[in-house]
Structure 1
Amino acid sequence: MGVNWRSAIAQNTVIYSPSAPPRGIDPLPQERNRQELQGLTNDYRVGALQRDIDGNLWVGSWLGLARIDPNTGNILSRVSLPNIAIGGLVQDRVGRIWVGTYEGLRRVDRQTSQVTAENFSLPSNRVLSLLIDRRGYLWVGTDRGLVLISPDQGLRMTTLQQLPGVSANALALDPEGQLWVGTLEGLVRVNTASAFILDRVGNIPGTTVQALAVSPQGTLWVGTLNSLLELDATTGAILRNVEAVAERQISALAFDQLGSLWIGTDNGLLRYDPRVNQVVGQVPDLPSNRILSLSPDTGNKLWVGTSEGLAWVSMSTGRARAHLAFTRSH
């Protein structure tokens, strides 16, 4: 597909309150946890990317957490998180980096790269998604529900374990400031002030939601196991089902500053123009075709986390190059 890319659109660790969450499903057995985390030293997947207020890029891989200069690719610092799978990253209002791992939640000072807080009293320590709402509070999505945390005090404010669809795979904030949660059984809309469920959208193609993004126009884009949908972010009504990506598993979604939607799938990275309803390009030469995370407009590049490492895409040529420090040797 030909593409005109230029013209196209701390020092001391604080442990959180150990009070138990509401009673629910038992945690994963330790033996299963151990089996799932074996071999992480040979796993190059990059599951989370986060640009910080200094313009640097945090790379959450299954080899650890690092901060890089996105203009040069130079590694600025590494955070000591050995043998921990990272499932989510987010920056809070004062610039602290929150790291969701498969062994709980951590807070990192972006200037010292030190872990300054930890939380292991979640409904499940398997963190899949993170989001900061308009008030500055942190929502933590796990495979057994949602938790609302105060980033400053480190207090767990609310736990929503009875989440329809159970697993909070993806989170997005709509124009009204309410939280959309992608689950195993569709979508749930949550009032961020009360943590009450406002709505549920279950009858969608693909059922399991793996990725969410809000467009510049305020619509909600939803990636499932076999479809890409555009929804009204207030009512949940389906506005569009993108046939061009039918039957692909959507794993990551992100809009760039030109309004293009980047679509990460289990079989490649696509660039889609919502205005003309067309896929306008596919990126070749990535470390893997299984896309896990995206960070557009970072150092004038699109950064891409894959199952086999990290790469960046030139916004002028559309060509990809692997970051060799995070990628299996080619």
Structure 2
Amino acid sequence: MTIATGANEVTSLLGDGAKLWIATTAGLYSREGSTVRHYGGSDVRRVARMDGEIVAASLGGRVARVERGRLASTTLPDALVLTQAIAERDGAACAGGLDGLWLRERGDAAWVAAARRSGPPANDISALAVDGERLWVGTFDHGLAIYERGTWTRFAHAKLDHRVNALLVEERAGAAARIWVATATGISIIDGTAVSQLGKQDGLPARGVLALARLRDGRILAGTMHGAAILGAGHPIPIGLKQNLEASNVWAVAESEDGSIWLGTTTGLYRGRVDDKEWTRYSVATGHLRDDWVMALAPRGPAIWVGTYKAGVSRFDLTGDGVTATPLGDGWINPGGLSWHGQTLHAATMEGVRTGDGAQATWTEMRGMPGKDTTATARIGTTLFVSTRRGLVARTP
């Protein structure tokens, strides 16, 4: 049935005797018999009955009630925004939104925010990094936090974007480690309580930074949305422009045992050194990959494991200036999703975590995840941490 032009995306329904209340992305409607009525609002996500009134929760607005044929304000807290759920029974009510869960014990009681359990800023976790007993946890759009001995601490700063893509711990002799944070607007470097920032205006190839790795000489290798760069003393050294590489969207960076730099991109895998005039490209066309979207790299000894978006993992054995590529499977590898822990290779995929020895095309599925889409693994002592799009998992033997 057509409600009205632009109002066919229905988000919630409520039966009210002979009347049907209809929440849509174009506002709140009712239908009684053949009569359809519009009450206003926009992007309404929930319609419910509360305290004998019809209320509508809208994305981007406060909860409103129907009064005299229009939407009017309610007594819900101003802090409750982007409401996604609302319900009431015998005076007790609850409402959930971007600011969490709010509760009301009875009809004449005040609304109070429900206590939040200790945890990361959001369940949508993008990156992990280990700093001694500390686990740094980055989220896709809710910033950074530290998990240490069972306690969570938010880390926020004006020079730290809340959209975290990758993390790197730079260990230093005689000093605390520095934390490098790749974000949607550059790189933030955390040194104790001080935070500095590098952006495109400072010489990065692009604003969006996707990957980080530490080189053997101590410098930092960064992959961005438009090439890669080496960061050390002085101005960043761009990689790709001089070599005329088609290396946009550099999702993975690494240095192998022989000193080669590797860039995983959406057009294949590149290998070379900073001063090389030409770099070698490995791809589906060269017969080395089964998918040109390279999302993760894990060097170990005389080999490097390459994770692709939809064709799993391949092992590249280094033989002088050449390589031998062996496909191993398994699945859709997420950005930064390959890690070695001891003798076991962990692959964070869209279908869960897979473990293997890196030699055979045999993988074991890790069970007990809150969701299939896993993003990273990290180990502190005997505890293995797994980040997912639905939270963080700690696994102990």
Common fold by TM > 0.5: yes
Instruction: Indicate whether 1:88 and 2:171 are aligned.
Output: no
Given the superposition, is the C-alpha separation of residues 115 and 83 from structure 1 closer, same or farther in structure 2, using an over 3 Å criterion? closer
Shift of 1:277: 4.3
Partner deviation per Cα, 1:80-110 (whole Å, 9 max, x = no partner):
367621111112343211111001111101x
5+ residue gaps, structure 1, are 1-38, 317-330
Amino acid at match of 2:355: R
2:162 aligns to what SS in structure 1?
coil
> Using the alignment, how far apart are the partners of 1:226 and 1:277 within structure 2?
12
Given the superposition, is the C-alpha separation of residues 43 and 226 from structure 1 closer, same or farther in structure 2, using an over 3 Å criterion? farther
Superposition map of 1:155-174 within 5 A: 155-161=235-241, 162-174=244-256
Amino acid at match of 1:207: D
Residue 65 (structure 1) aligned to one of 124, 127, 144: 144
Instruction: Indicate whether 1:178 and 2:260 are aligned.
Output: yes
Contact 1:249 1:266 in 2 (8 A): yes
Partner deviation per Cα, 1:103-128 (whole Å, 9 max, x = no partner):
1111101x32x313443422211110
> Using the alignment, how far apart are the partners of 2:281 and 2:198 within structure 1?
32
Given the superposition, is the C-alpha separation of residues 236 and 213 from structure 1 closer, same or farther in structure 2, using an over 3 Å criterion? farther
Shift of 1:187: 0.5
> Using the alignment, how far apart are the partners of 2:145 and 2:279 within structure 1?
37
2:133 aligns to what SS in structure 1?
coil
Amino acid at match of 1:223: G
2:236 aligns to what SS in structure 1?
strand
Amino acid at match of 2:279: L
Given the superposition, is the C-alpha separation of residues 149 and 287 from structure 1 closer, same or farther in structure 2, using an over 3 Å criterion? same
Q: Which residue of 2 aligns with 1:4?
A: none
Given the superposition, is the C-alpha separation of residues 195 and 305 from structure 1 closer, same or farther in structure 2, using an over 3 Å criterion? farther
Give the alignment's TM-score, normalised by structure 1: 0.72
Instruction: Indicate whether 1:242 and 2:328 are aligned.
Output: yes
Q: Which residue of 2 aligns with 1:230?
A: 315
Residue 144 (structure 1) aligned to one of 216, 223, 226: 226
5+ residue gaps, structure 2, are 1-81, 83-97, 100-120
Contact 1:271 1:282 in 2 (8 A): yes
Given the superposition, is the C-alpha separation of residues 214 and 272 from structure 1 closer, same or farther in structure 2, using an over 3 Å criterion? same
Partner deviation per Cα, 1:280-320 (whole Å, 9 max, x = no partner):
x322232321111221x323222122122222222x1xxxx
> Using the alignment, how far apart are the partners of 1:47 and 1:163 within structure 2?
28
> Using the alignment, how far apart are the partners of 1:102 and 1:263 within structure 2?
24
Given the superposition, is the C-alpha separation of residues 51 and 196 from structure 1 closer, same or farther in structure 2, using an over 3 Å criterion? farther
> Using the alignment, how far apart are the partners of 2:262 and 2:347 within structure 1?
19
Superposition map of 1:29-178 within 5 A: 44-52=123-131, 54-61=132-139, 62-69=141-148, 72-76=149-153, 78-80=155-157, 84-94=162-172, 95-109=177-191, 111-112=192-193, 114-121=194-201, 122-150=204-232, 153=233, 155-161=235-241, 162-178=244-260
Given the superposition, is the C-alpha separation of residues 86 and 163 from structure 1 closer, same or farther in structure 2, using an over 3 Å criterion? farther
Given the superposition, is the C-alpha separation of residues 77 and 197 from structure 1 closer, same or farther in structure 2, using an over 3 Å criterion? farther
**Bigger fraction of residues in helix:** 1
Amino acid at match of 2:281: R
Residue 278 (structure 1) aligned to one of 333, 343, 362: 362
Instruction: Indicate whether 1:200 and 2:281 are aligned.
Output: yes
Partner deviation per Cα, 1:210-232 (whole Å, 9 max, x = no partner):
111113x4311111122211112
> Using the alignment, how far apart are the partners of 1:233 and 1:55 within structure 2?
34
Residue 341 (structure 2) aligned to one of 240, 256, 268: 256
Amino acid at match of 2:303: T
Contact 2:126 2:376 in 1 (8 A): yes
Given the superposition, is the C-alpha separation of residues 226 and 136 from structure 1 closer, same or farther in structure 2, using an over 3 Å criterion? same
Larger RCO of the pair (alpha carbons < 8 Å, separation 6+) = 1
Question: Identity of counterpart residues, as a percentage?
Answer: 26
Contact 1:47 1:305 in 2 (8 A): yes
Amino acid at match of 1:254: S
Given the superposition, is the C-alpha separation of residues 239 and 158 from structure 1 closer, same or farther in structure 2, using an over 3 Å criterion? closer
> Using the alignment, how far apart are the partners of 1:93 and 1:190 within structure 2?
26
> Using the alignment, how far apart are the partners of 1:278 and 1:104 within structure 2?
38
Contact 1:50 1:90 in 2 (8 A): yes
Amino acid at match of 2:393: A
> Cα RMSD over matched residues?
2.5
